[in-house]
Amino acid sequence: MFDNENGTLSKATWSQRCPWLLIFRTFRLAVDFRLLVMGATGIFLTMLGWAILATIFLADSNDLQVQLDIDRNNLAEAQANLDAVKGASAKELGQLKAQLQVAQAAYERTQSDIQMSQWTRPANGCPWQAIEGAVENSPTVPSVPTPAKTGRLAATPWQAVDPFTGVWAQLSRPLWAALDFKLGVSGLACLTLCGLWSLAVWAFFGAAISRIAAVQLACDERVGWMPALRFAGAKWRSFFAAPVVPMVGVAVLALFIFIPGLLMNFNAGVLVVGLCLWPLFLLAGLLMAVLLLGLILGWPLMWGTISTEGTDSFDALSRSYNYVFQRPLHYLFYALLAAVFGALGWVLVQNFAGGVVGLTYQTAGWGAGSNEIAESEEKAESEKGDERSVPRIDSIVNSPDNLGGVGTAGARIIHFWAGCVKLLAVGFIYSYFWTASTAIYLLLRRDVDDTELDDVFLDEDTSEATFGLPPLVTDTAGAPVVADTPPLPEADTTEEDEPQS
């Protein structure tokens, strides 16, 4: 639509024709200090909880590697025994095949435990070191993480290549891994508790981020710290229960298959199940697949639903499944756009944080001087054993243990403050994910329900202070003016007349 006076395209037309431009507003919101702190706190607590649970339920990484070597040898021995048998009876052949299957199952179970240990205990179970490794001490050329960078956050299987799909994959990892039927009891228990822990953490911090994003994206009003945290605390049960409900449904359907499936331990039971129950099993499997597909794709929308509408977990469940299955191509387009834009944003934030840390180190290094060390023990004893100068800041950054007790303590404190900067940078990955998820929810709600983008639930409680423009009214001439704030009622200072005696 063109303006009648100058023929220019109005701003409202762009927002109506290209509503997906809303996603490009998420970066400015995601780098807000409040959201960075919430995202950083959430991921640190998530990784800390995962590391503790993995330590409880899984063996040490070195012990797992030793066990993998033992299982590999047992598997090779069982395969060799089976290959060496010639002219054996059917019973002996069946026993050897059973031994091979047992050895294969043990080997695969240990492999699953090692993979689980890698993403639950990055950097040898130290979340702080893993987070520090995600940001270099200087700006770097962006590159896709490779397995060669072991021990760092970027090398772990769940680390984000971009802040949208990467976080989705990381937080969905317990659900994906639980579908691996090679897991043992301890591994399954570890995955279940890891999933519940991460859900409990992000049902609070993700909810607060989504609430701030929903109000600011919809009506461009700013929500403060405490109102957002109070909203997250009040709605924590709804955020926590929304993804749990479909999982409970999957568990019920699994029991429906499992209990009658016990009949298949007998040959007659196999016949009964095949004739009477298997079509029902397939129907239950179809329902489980639908529930899991909608959950895996739509769980980020549940946070946007509750934060925008102020409703409960059942409304979040209904809307997320509805939007995913009714507008899958729209959802895919918005997700790809958010992923590309988030990847560019992460490159900027990562290098900016690296520049802050690197410039601080280098500038401080000018005043720290240098250390004189011998090039090697052999050269130190020879005539060519000249000493060379090494910047002292390098010792502080790379080898603080060589500085002595007081120097080591000071270097550790310096590392802590540098790690705080890196932690805030990593917090952007998660603040962007929840912000972009909320924006995608607003767009899908517009596509499916034809609801305007600026329609958002605002708490009537005055404790949820929002900061926006004052209301406008028209004066006697019809011109818009700012409404006057009503004066506070004056206290009544009059005293009642005393009763006459």
pLDDT-based confidence at residue 15 (cuts at 50, 70, 90): low
Contacts of 299 (CB under 8 A, 6+ apart): 172, 242, 243, 320
386 pLDDT above the threshold of 80: no
Predicted TM-score (pTM) of this structure? 0.78
pLDDT-based confidence at residue 378 (cuts at 50, 70, 90): very low
368 pLDDT above the threshold of 90: no
Distance CA 353, CA 366 (A): 21
User: How much is the average pLDDT of 36-61?
Assistant: 89
- C-alpha distance from residue 471 to each of 209, 453, 465, 485 (Å): 27, 20, 15, 9
Whole-number average pLDDT of the chain: 79
Residue 333 is predicted with a pLDDT of 95
478 pLDDT above the threshold of 80: no
115 pLDDT above the threshold of 90: no
Residue 485 is predicted with a pLDDT of 55
Distance CA 108, CA 125 (A): 23
Distance CA 484, CA 471 (A): 9
Least confidently predicted of 311-315, 366-370, 497-501: 497-501
Residue 501 is predicted with a pLDDT of 40
Phi first, then psi: what are they for 387, rounded to 5°?
-85, 145
Q: Note whether 402 and 414 are within 8 A (CB).
A: no
Residue type, position 261, single letter: G
Residue 463 is predicted with a pLDDT of 45
Single out the residue of 85, 199, 134 nearest to residue 350, CA to CA.
134
In degrees, rounded to 5, the angle at the alpha carbon of residue 18 between the alpha carbons of residues 13 and 22 is: 105
472 pLDDT above the threshold of 50: yes
Q: Note whether 116 and 190 are within 8 A (CB).
A: yes
284 pLDDT above the threshold of 70: yes
Residue 488 is predicted with a pLDDT of 46
Distance CA 220, CA 454 (A): 9
User: How much is the average pLDDT of 388-401?
Assistant: 66
Least confidently predicted of 48-52, 73-77, 160-164, 429-433: 160-164
In this predicted model, which residue has the larger pLDDT, 73 or 478? 73
244 pLDDT above the threshold of 90: yes
2 pLDDT above the threshold of 70: no
380 pLDDT above the threshold of 50: no
431 pLDDT above the threshold of 90: yes
In this predicted model, which residue has the larger pLDDT, 100 or 237? 237
pLDDT-based confidence at residue 12 (cuts at 50, 70, 90): low
User: How much is the average pLDDT of 415-434?
Assistant: 91
pLDDT-based confidence at residue 300 (cuts at 50, 70, 90): very high
7 pLDDT above the threshold of 70: no
Q: Note whether 436 and 336 are within 8 A (CB).
A: no
Q: Note whether 439 and 26 are within 8 A (CB).
A: yes
Residue 435 is predicted with a pLDDT of 96
Structure-block tokens of residue 63:
């012990």
Distance CA 460, CA 121 (A): 44
356 pLDDT above the threshold of 50: yes
Residue 62 is predicted with a pLDDT of 77
Highest mean pLDDT among 34-38, 77-81, 348-352, 460-464: 34-38
Single out the residue of 403, 209, 190, 451 nearest to residue 306, CA to CA.
209
Residue 122 is predicted with a pLDDT of 76
Three-state SS for 138? coil
Residue 391 is predicted with a pLDDT of 67
User: How much is the average pLDDT of 406-434?
Assistant: 88
Give per-residue pLDDT as tens, 129-157.
787 778 887 777 554 443 334 334 433 43
Distance CA 78, CA 81 (A): 5
Question: In residues, how long is the chain?
Answer: 501
Q: Where are the beta strands (DSSP E) in 441-492?
A: 466-467, 472-474, 480-482
User: How much is the average pLDDT of 397-422?
Assistant: 79
- C-alpha distance from residue 187 to each of 74, 133, 181, 192 (Å): 22, 27, 11, 9
Single out the residue of 16, 31, 14, 20 nearest to residue 337, CA to CA.
20
In this predicted model, which residue has the larger pLDDT, 96 or 48? 48
pLDDT-based confidence at residue 421 (cuts at 50, 70, 90): very high
Using the 8-state DSSP alphabet, how is residue 9 labeled?
B
Distance CA 26, CA 353 (A): 19
Label residue 450 left, alpha or beta by phi (over 0 means left) and psi (-120 to 50 means alpha).
left
Distance CA 441, CA 46 (A): 24
Phi first, then psi: what are they for 204, rounded to 5°?
-105, -60
Distance CA 330, CA 333 (A): 5
pLDDT-based confidence at residue 376 (cuts at 50, 70, 90): very low
Domain ranges of the chain: 16-58+121-343
Residue 159 is predicted with a pLDDT of 44
124, exposed or middle or buried, with CB in 10 Å at 0-12, 13-18, 19+?
exposed
Residue 157 is predicted with a pLDDT of 35
449 pLDDT above the threshold of 70: yes
Q: Note whether 461 and 82 are within 8 A (CB).
A: no
- C-alpha distance from residue 285 to each of 132, 244, 264, 356, 361 (Å): 43, 18, 17, 53, 58
